[in-house]
């Protein structure tokens, strides 16, 4: 069993936008906000907003610690520390209500962090409000992107924060079951996101899986509306083609209909997105092409672990492994296209993670 060595926690009280220590005279021993050993859970009574978190992992015993927060968001991949070693890590967390899917359960107020892994070792933690100018990455999408509330379902947007360092906030407003039509119509969705967008913020848009009865003209028009309204706020829209579904032809390739998101009306969603991106000079992340290549590379059997086939006979929704791999594709595209600064991107995860 692991012990928390010292936690320099920050209190819930917010005065003039600054968090004040819970016990000023107990620096390095403020355990009030953290409980448990494996995992260690910490709670901070803060208002919605962006918060910078600095942690020191490690201690007297060898450790291996991962960090998640709020609704199962991956904030830091499992990090090994030798006995007597400590490492410093930092990241930025978006705190909102609801804390997960916009139409889902409210969750708990404030910020919740969980330090898990095979041998969690937390030496210290500090939480403070992020600068108002902190860049934000808004995610607009469906259940393949969203902060899924229950294991084993995991959206790629849920895994994306672990690939970004302090100074970039991921605000995941993807929601299960949404299409390009419903995302614009529901006041809890784009109408809620729109006023939060600040000049320079990114808005990644992946909507297609639920546009099964949307005609091509309407689908394109809806995406263009989202692009135009993000730009009107000074934001930077990024169009993202949908992840593939795991449906194979007899020759081991993915089929051109269900797998590659061509709906019953013959609308080729990825093709529409690519054309709109080119016409409107919008950055494009072609997740359809990237995930198709990966699924076909692994084959019929190997690709089952990317999705929930073994658990749920589900060929659409991803496992933690699949969501993490697909989030890595997004990270790489953001970096390669200069959409986020290279120094804000966390490196590749260890093999097999």
Residue 229 in domain: yes
3-state secondary structure of 200: coil
pLDDT classification of 31: cutoffs 50, 70, 90? low
Among residues 70, 101, 129, the one where a domain terminates is 129
Please tell me whether residues 167 and 276 are part of one structural domain. yes
Range of the domain at 237: 136-341
pLDDT in tens, 112-135: 999 999 999 999 999 999 999 999
pLDDT at 45 over 50: yes
d(CA 113, CA 120): 13
Confidence band (pLDDT; 50, 70, 90) for 348? low
Q: Is 240 helix (H, G, I), strand (E, B) or coil?
A: strand
199 lies in a domain?
Answer: yes
**In Å, how far are 28, 79, 208, 225 from 123, measured between CA atoms?**
9, 13, 44, 48
What pLDDT, on a 0 to 100 scale, did the predictor assign at position 81? 97
Mean pLDDT along residues 151-170: 98
pLDDT at 351 over 50: no
Last residue of a domain, one of 75, 105, 129: 129
Give one DSSP letter per residue of 100-116, joined into a string.
SSTTS----SSEEEEEE
Q: Is 302 within the bounds of a domain?
A: yes
Residue at which a domain ends, from 73, 100, 129 = 129
CB count in 10 Å sphere of residue 279: 10
Residue 219 scores a pLDDT above 70: yes
- Co-location of 106 and 156 in the same domain: no
Number of domains comprising the chain: 2
CB neighbour list of residue 59: distance below 8 Å, 6 or more residues apart: 3, 5, 81, 84, 86, 121, 123
Percent residues over pLDDT 90 in the chain: 88
The answer as to whether 347 is a domain residue is no
């Amino acid at each position: 069993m692991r012990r928390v060595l010292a936690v320099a926690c920050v209190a819930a009280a917010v005065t003039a936008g600054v968090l004040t220590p819970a016990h000023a005279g107990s620096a390095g021993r403020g355990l009030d906000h953290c409980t448990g050993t494996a995992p260690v859970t910490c709670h901070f009574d803060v208002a919605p907003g962006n918060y910078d978190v600095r942690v020191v992992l490690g201690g007297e015993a060898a450790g291996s610690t991962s960090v998640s927060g709020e609704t199962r968001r991956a904030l830091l991949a499992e990090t090994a520390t030798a006995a007597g070693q400590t490492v410093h890590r930092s990241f930025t967390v978006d705190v909102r209500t609801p804390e997960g899917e916009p139409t889902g359960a409210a969750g708990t107020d404030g910020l919740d962090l969980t330090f898990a892994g095979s041998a969690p070792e937390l030496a210290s933690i500090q939480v403070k409000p992020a600068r108002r100018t902190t860049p934000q990455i808004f995610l607009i999408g469906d259940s393949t992107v969203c902060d899924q509330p229950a294991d084993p379902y995991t959206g790629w947007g849920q895994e994306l924060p672990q690939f970004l360092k302090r100074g970039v906030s991921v605000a995941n407003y993807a929601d299960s079951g949404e299409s390009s039509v419903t995302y614009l119509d529901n006041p809890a969705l784009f109408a809620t996101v729109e006023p939060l967008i600040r000049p320079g913020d990114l808005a990644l848009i992946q909507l297609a899986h639920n546009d099964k009865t949307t005609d091509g003209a309407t689908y394109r028009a809806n995406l263009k509306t989202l692009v135009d309204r993000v730009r009107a706020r000074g934001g930077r829209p990024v169009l993202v083609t949908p992840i593939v579904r795991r449906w194979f032809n007899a020759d081991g390739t993915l089929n051109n209909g269900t797998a590659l998101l061509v709906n019953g009306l013959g609308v080729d969603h990825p093709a529409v997105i690519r054309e709109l991106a080119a016409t409107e000079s919008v950055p494009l992340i072609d997740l359809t092409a990237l995930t198709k290549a990966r699924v076909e590379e692994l084959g019929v059997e190997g690709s089952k672990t990317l999705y929930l086939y073994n658990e749920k006979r589900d060929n659409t929704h991803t496992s933690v492994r699949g969501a993490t791999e697909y989030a890595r594709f997004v990270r790489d595209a953001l970096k390669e296209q200069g959409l986020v600064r290279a120094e804000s991107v966390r490196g590749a995860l260890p093999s097999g993670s």
